[in-house]
Structure 1
Amino acid sequence: MSDSLAKARADVAEILRQDTGTDRPKWRVTLTDSESLTGLAPVCTGERSDALHQIPDYPGGPIRDEDGVYGCCPWPQIETYSEPVAAYLVALLNADVEQASGGAA
Structure 2
Amino acid sequence: MRARIAAAEALKQGTGVDRPKWRLIATDSESLTGLAPVCTGERTDALHEIPDHPSGPVRDEHGVYDCCPWPQIETYSVVMAEYLVELLNADTEDGTR
**2 CA distance for matches of 1:35 and 1:29?**
12
**2 CA distance for matches of 1:78 and 1:41?**
6
Q: How many residues align?
A: 97
Task: Give the corresponding residue for 1:78.
Answer: 73
TM-score normalised by L of structure 1: 0.88
Task: Give the corresponding residue for 2:63.
Answer: 68
- Any stretches of 5+ residues in structure 2 without a counterpart? none
3-state SS in 1 of match to 2:46: helix
Task: Give the corresponding residue for 2:50.
Answer: 55
Whether 1:100 and 2:91 are equivalent positions in the alignment is no
Deviation at 1:47, TM superposition (A): 1.1
Greater RCO, CA 8 A, separation 6+? 2
Among all aligned residue pairs of Structure 1 and Structure 2, give the percentage whose two residues are the same amino acid: 71
1:23 to 18, 23, 31: 18
Residue identity matched to 1:19: G
Residue identity matched to 1:82: S
Question: Max radius of gyration: which structure?
Answer: 1
Task: Give the corresponding residue for 2:33.
Answer: 38
Residue identity matched to 2:12: R
TM-score normalised by L of structure 2: 0.95
Deviation at 1:17, TM superposition (A): 1.1
Runs of 4+ in 1 over 2 A off after TM superposition: none
